[in-house]
Amino acid sequence: MKKQQKTKRPPGVCIPWQEKLKELPKISGDKELVQKVWQNIDALGYMYIWQCLLSF
């Protein structure tokens, strides 16, 4: 899509993983698991506000 803007907060994201990662201590376990769960739940926050705008 040529016209789209490059935003700091891309579609589907409220708090980017890289931003959250800086707040965490060094992850000793499965980093990908932590990232995946963070992003999946963060996407619900995104859905909430955009559904408020578009559907409700």
Partner 1 sequence: MAKDMEQLYQQRLKRYVAAMRNEKSDMIPIRPFVAEFTAKYAGYTCQEVTHDYEKAFAAARKCAADFDWDAVVSNMVYVWTGLTEAIGLKYYGVPGISIPPTTGFQYIEPPEEKAFMKPDEYDQLIEDPTGFLYNVWLPRVSADVSAMGQPTSFRNNLSFLKGGMAMLTYFNAFGKQNELLRTESGTVSAIAGILKAPFDIIADKLRGYLGLVTDVLERPDKVLAACEALMPHLTHVALSGADPDKNVPIGYWMHRGCVPFFSMEHFKRFYWPTFKPIVEEIWAHGHQVLFYAEGNWDAHLDSFAELPDQSIVYHVDHGDIFKVHKVLGEKFCISGGIPNWLLATGTPADVRDYCKKVIDGVAGNGGYIMDASAIVQNDAKVENIKAMTEFTRDYGVY
Report how far residue 41's alpha carbon sits from residue 45's, in angstroms, rounded to the nearest whole number: 7
Measured from the CB atom, the residue of 7 and 28 that comes closer to partner 1 is 7
Q: How far is the CB of 17 from partner 1 (least distance, A)?
A: 15
Q: Are 9 and 49 in contact (CB under 8 A)?
A: no
Where do contacts with partner 1 occur on this chain (CB under 8 A)? 1-5, 7-14, 44, 46-56
Measured from the CB atom, the residue of 28 and 54 that comes closer to partner 1 is 54
Q: Sign (positive/negative) of CA torsion 44, 49, 4, 8? A: negative
Measured from the CB atom, the residue of 12 and 31 that comes closer to partner 1 is 12
